[in-house]
Amino acid sequence: MKKIILLVLVFAFTLSSCEKDDICDANTPTTPRLVISFYDFLNPSVLKNVNNLKVVGEGMPNGILFGGLETTSANTISIPLKTVGTNTTYRFTLNFADSNPANVDEDIIRFDYSTKEIFVSRACGYKTNFTLDPTNPYTHTDPVDPSKRWMKFISVEKNNIENENETHIKIFF
């Protein structure tokens, strides 16, 4: 009888020491990236692919990877914003791989925003949502000559960046 009671107690302690695995599901929403879509300046309702676009964050030696490459020719991109601080600056280089330097054009955009940390779960931790500054969401510059910007017009579509399922910024070129 003592052996049975001892066996039941050992079994009960074994079960009581188990706890739920803390694994963050891959489908759990995390910190969203800024979604930018590119449009034709002359025909604003038409999405337009950029040619060999390279996007490099301020102070970074390498560009953002798009499908494993540092350049893309897509009409929509997603770029991360810094979770520490209230602005992020990127250099957008059009025709980066062009052998003719006259065709390569670079614009600089600084995005200004506020952040809000949201607790997701014990396993996933926190995510950060962003709200673009309503009075001055971005500063657009050209490092050499402002009249030669390849980005003609920038439109903020969504100030709140809470997911990656919608376009936040439209750039017309």
pTM for the full predicted model = 0.85
Confidence grade of residue 12 (pLDDT, cut at 50, 70, 90) = low
53-79: average pLDDT: 96
- Which position has the higher pLDDT, 139 or 141? 139
Q: How many CB atoms lie within 10 A of CB 87?
A: 14
Q: Is 8 helix (H, G, I), strand (E, B) or coil?
A: helix
How many Å is the maximal CA-CA distance in the chain? Answer: 92
Q: Where are the alpha helices (DSSP H) in the chain?
A: 2-16
> What pLDDT does residue 141 have?
87
Beta strands of the chain (E only): which ranges? 34-39, 53-57, 71-72, 76-79, 87-94, 105-121, 125-132, 138-141, 153-156, 160-161, 169-172
Distance between first and last Cα of the chain: 84
